[in-house]
Amino acid sequence: MDTNGWARRTIPTLFERSRSGANDGSHVPPADGPAPAALLGDDADLLADAPPPLPEVGEAEVVRHYTHLAARNMSVDANFYPLGSCTMKYNPRINEWAASRDGLAALHPLAPAATAQGALRLLHELETYLARIAGLDAVTLTPAAGAHGELTALKVITAYYHSRGEGRSKVLTPDSAHGTNPASCTVCGRLAVPIASRGDGRIDLDDLRAKLDDQTAALMITNPNTLGLFETDIADAAELVHAAGAQLYLDGANMNAILGITRPGDFGVDAMHFNLHKTFSTPHGGGGPGAGPVAVASHLEPFLPTPRVVHREGAYRLLWEAPQSIGPMRSFAGQFAVCVRAWCYIRALGGEGLRRASETAVLAANYLAAKLKTVLPLPHDERCMHEFVLTASRRGASDRGLAGRIAKRLLDYGFHAPTVYFPLIVEEALMIEPTETESLATLDAFVAAMREIVAALDEDPHALDDAPRARSVARVDETAAARQPVLRWRPRM
């Protein structure tokens, strides 16, 4: 635990470090090409009258400044991230090396297909791999993130029904669903209708049956669900959905639990999105990077967005002409660097390796659950998949806000907080996912930290009120921070 106080030292901003003449640019040779005004021609008036007011600091100061800032941050490289539903696992550095190769990283997205055959082949092969993993027929790599994948798939499903002269307006979502599910439905102009969960945390088939009708476009489900439980009635749910003429859509956020073990297409899924940044190498956070490819069954393929990567007459190219397509969902062909990392991850592990990764993730989650259910209650005490949900509510109303305080205190032990207050169907939820990349020693250290934190709380109900204590920033008002961000660091008094 960091108790030395070094993290509380004020680090001046680069503007505060700035000194006139500290970096006069004398070591940079003059440009030997035309002046900027000449290059702009008639648009020379667009040039600024003066250089931007950037700080003047030497290169060494810049490097040290950002190195010190990075050391104060939590990261997957430096800390355990047990974020349930987010799968924050270690990112193999070989994948970063591959994604940074000049032939890939420096390739212009509008380069002629003849000069980008390697990149297009990579994308085409990744589509093939993802289709095989999903047990579906076609994939688009266009979506930029998971929620964007949800929106894309819902638009594809909507276009499919429009082609049949149907205007189905409802999408059913379990009450344990990720918050992006009903949000994506709303953005797509569909009405999100919640489906209740049973006492065991799984979807209530009776409620599903009662709400299915000829206006239902899809059931949008996560499997394993957000409690870390496999939906054992998924085949029956698929049969009910299809009997109503609707589609079964899978939120693929939790694919890290079932790779190589079961395929969504085999249990009735018609469309799904992957989170490449959760399942295939690139840990996400801070708003990106991400990628949300969508896989579909053959009857939905004509409606996938453009461009599509095709292999014809011995060459790869981007196909923009597709009469039933929903059209482009973003510029170019998706988050290319994330796709490169995912391709590397799949090629390196292969089918058996992907299955082993999932089996290890499930084993790690069940190990942690068995240890921690003696520390805090485990509402759904059965074998889980890749994640599980504890509750910090033991005494009723007096425990309100306790999950958040436990999460804050974990920061002092060098652990990122787990996901808190989700899913909403568990009061004071702590959602924990260890992934397959953490060692047994790390898991045991996390258990020991949780034991210490809860033991301190048992001795003094206010023991966590001032957490975190050893970080550079103390307790913050998250709501105020989101609405009125203060970007200048202030030492706490």
Predicted local distance difference test score (pLDDT) of residue 39: 79
73/40 Cα distance (integer angstroms) = 42
For residue range 385-430, list pLDDT tens digits in order. Answer: 999 999 998 766 567 889 999 999 999 999 999 999 999 889 999 9
Confidence of residue 285 (pLDDT cuts 50, 70, 90): low
Predicted local distance difference test score (pLDDT) of residue 493: 41
Confidence of residue 4 (pLDDT cuts 50, 70, 90): very low
In sequence order, the β-bridge partners of residue 296 are 138, 271
Asked whether the predicted pLDDT for residue 165 surpasses 80, the reply is yes
DSSP code, position 480: H
Asked whether this chain's domains 95-348 and 352-483 adopt the same fold, the reply is no
Average pLDDT over residues 91-99: 90
The overall average pLDDT reported for the chain is: 90
CB 282 within 8 A of CB 96: no
Indicate the domain borders of the chain.
Answer: 7-21+53-72, 95-348, 352-483
252 phi, psi to nearest 5 deg: -85, 20
Asked whether the predicted pLDDT for residue 2 surpasses 50, the reply is no
Average pLDDT over residues 87-91: 88
CATH class for domain 352-483?
alpha beta
Which has the higher per-residue pLDDT, 59 or 39? 59
Asked whether the predicted pLDDT for residue 488 surpasses 70, the reply is no
Confidence of residue 20 (pLDDT cuts 50, 70, 90): confident
Residue 379's closest CA among 340, 343, 429? 429
For residue range 112-139, list pLDDT tens digits in order. Answer: 999 999 999 999 999 999 999 999 999 9
For residue range 184-194, list pLDDT tens digits in order. Answer: 999 999 999 99
Asked whether the predicted pLDDT for residue 240 surpasses 60, the reply is yes
Q: Which two tokens stand for residue 382?
A: 């059965």
CB 88 within 8 A of CB 435: yes
In sequence order, the β-bridge partners of residue 345 are none
Confidence of residue 252 (pLDDT cuts 50, 70, 90): very high
The hierarchical CATH code for the domain 95-348 is: 3.40.640.10
* Sign, Cα dihedral of 125, 127, 128, 130: positive
Pairing type for strands 315-319 and 388-391 reads unpaired
170/194 Cα distance (integer angstroms) = 10
What distance lies between CA 417 and its chain's CA centroid? 16
CB 470 within 8 A of CB 412: yes
For residue range 288-342, list pLDDT tens digits in order. Answer: 688 999 999 999 999 999 999 999 999 999 999 999 999 999 887 788 999 999 9
Confidence of residue 52 (pLDDT cuts 50, 70, 90): confident
Pairing type for strands 138-140 and 294-296 reads antiparallel
Average pLDDT over residues 100-116: 92
